[in-house]
Structure 1
Amino acid sequence: MSFDTDFDPSLEPDADCEDVSDIDPLEEPSACAYTDYTSGGEAPDEVPATGEGAEGVEADVWDALYGVEDPEMPVSVVDLGLIYGVDVTERVDREAPEEPHGGGDSEARSASDRSSGRRPREETAGVHAEVVMTLTYTGCPARDMLTGEIEDAVASVEGVESVDLRLVWSPEWSIELVTEAGKDDLREFGLSV
Structure 2
Amino acid sequence: MYSQTTYNSPVGHLTLASDGESLIGLWLENQKYFADNFPEEWVANDCLPVFEATKKWLDRYFSGEQPSVTSIPLAPIGSEFRQTVWRLLHKIPYGQVMTYGELAEKIAAEMGRASMSSQAVGGAVGHNPISIIIPCHRVVGSDGSLTGYAGGLTTKVKLLTLEAVDMTNLYMPKHGISRN
TM > 0.5 between the two?
A: no
Greater relative contact order: 1 or 2 (C-alpha under 8 angstroms, separation 6 or more)?
A: 1
Q: TM-score range by the shorter chain?
A: under 0.3
The normalised TM-score by structure 1 is 0.21
Higher alpha-carbon Rg: 1
Structure 1 or 2: more helix by fraction: 2
